Structure 1
Amino acid sequence: MTGKPQVCTQDGCEGKPVARRLCSKHYQQAWNAGTLDVHTPAPRRKINRTVCPDDHGHGDTTVCYVLHQCRCDPCTDNRAAREAQRRKLKAYGRYDTGLVDVTEVREHVLMLGEFGIGYKRVAELAGFKSSTPVRTILWGRMDPGRVGEMQKRIKRETAEKILAVKPVIKNLGPKQPVPALGVHRRVQALVARGWSVTRIGERLGWTAANFWSLMKKDTVGAATHLAVAALYEQLWDQEPPRGEWHEKAAYTRAVNYAARRGWLPPLAWDDIDTDPTPEAHQSEQTKGERVLEDVEWLLESGEPAAQVALAVDRKPDAIAKLAERHGRLDLARAFYGRAAA
């Protein structure tokens, strides 16, 4: 502290002191009256000439010199160089404080929060060592005596780093939920291209039960979305291998299944995440026939009957009875006795 009072020492005056502990008005009055000697000047600031620890970043900033009153050689040299540069730029009329208005940055952080990127995640993506700079922009200072004081300006470098963080899915946390529409469309497009569910699941590390439960969800984790998007970018313009007879059969089953379901291929989408969903064609199949179609495709893909039952969300004996009613004894036999097992 400097020891200078925050207001004029004249009774009843709340003006800011400029010299001799007097405001501008009372200083001028004392000058005209020749009574300046009566007013004691404020004591000079006592500088505690210390040397900060080595981990304080001497010479990198002016924090040690100004706040900690460190007077080591790196701190004093850095302070002198900064002051010389400041005076030169002011003389040339090119001096820039390096500060910008914080309003745009604060609005950007709030927008990122609405997208799902919290202030700690913003600080991490911006490359800050802690979340304090972003937290201070949102909720004000936490310094003693200045708690809640909102910033008006911040460093230009800080603003540029924060504004560089964009509201995209790759910047979300891995478990942050996002709409599953893009995942569903990408998987459906790959199946329409001939990639079987088994092959897609193997590349993603999913089982058939995981796959079908995912296709029923409205949201997925951001990490899942990115994994499916990365696989889609690899495979959308490629056909699966068809060298062996079983590979040809799997390809044909996948293409036919996607065609019956009305699943669109990759080239049908301009933006697979945001394009409106086309109107679905009316199908003459009953719900039971569609279930049996799913069951047949999964069994032909090599999935065990227990996993198929989980995938279509039916009990094994219910699938067997459904298959009998539709005259599909070949499918019913796969589920006989499964309920007791």
Structure 2
Amino acid sequence: MTIVVREAPHHRNLTCYTDYRCRLPECVERYNTWQQNRLRAVAAGTWKPFIDATPVREHLLELYAAGFTPHRVSVITDIDWNTVRLYTQAAPRQGRGMIRQTTPEFAAKILAIKPEPTLPGRVDPTGTRRRIQALVAIGWPLKELGPHIGVKPDHVRRIIKRNEQVFGTTAQATADAYDRLRNSQPRKHGVSEIGVARARKYAKEHRWAPPSYWAERMDVIDDPDFEPMYGVTRREIVAQDANEVMRFAGLDRQAAAERLGISKAYIDHAFREYPQYAVEVAA
């Protein structure tokens, strides 16, 4: 049986240990080292877990004025995108107010960023494509997104259809447009009922995840190694798993079912529903 595990998106800071219960040796060591340093500081009377976040907020506003976005700051600092955003604005829908105090570690990372534009020439297109796809999923036709991103409508379609790198300015402009439009209703921006319905239908056919799916996954929306499982049923996952087990281990359906901890009948049903994965005993 396939079990979905909530895994940490990366293993670079304490959150994988505290929030995702990761117990990789290097993550446990990182957490233990942090705890030891904290206890020493507490004993010495120098422990300052939180400091005023005003300098961080002012610095972020300077960065935004220079062309940065919360997403760009998140990539540079490894600080969660939602956390970066909360330094300058509240999130009432999530019941979270603006950050008034922060840790010295987070403050140092953000204050170290220079306000000069540092956009790369070309970047991986994964995050740009996913943001466009998410907007289509809530009813935005591709041709309507061009003006909001600042590119021609044909270019938006080209980003989706071609797996090519995009300009850093385009990636950032798309992220900005996504932030503005992800909670909007296309109809209020002049998109017709037919246009909204067609966009949603197209996105559904291609299993494009909407903004609600990415809301809790913004730390991996730009990660090409993260595979969205939006719209994938358990039966399809079983069909995929059975296909791999049978092809690579040379098992028949009964043996594959025992390996996966399910019944042979379940595999039979999964293969009938998703015939593209159906195989017999591997040669």
Give the TM-score range, shorter chain.
0.3 to 0.5
Structure 2 length as normaliser, TM-score? 0.37
Q: Which has more helix, going by share of residues?
A: 2
Q: Which structure would you say has the larger RCO, counting Cα contacts within 8 Å and 6 or more residues apart?
A: 2
Structure 1 length as normaliser, TM-score? 0.31
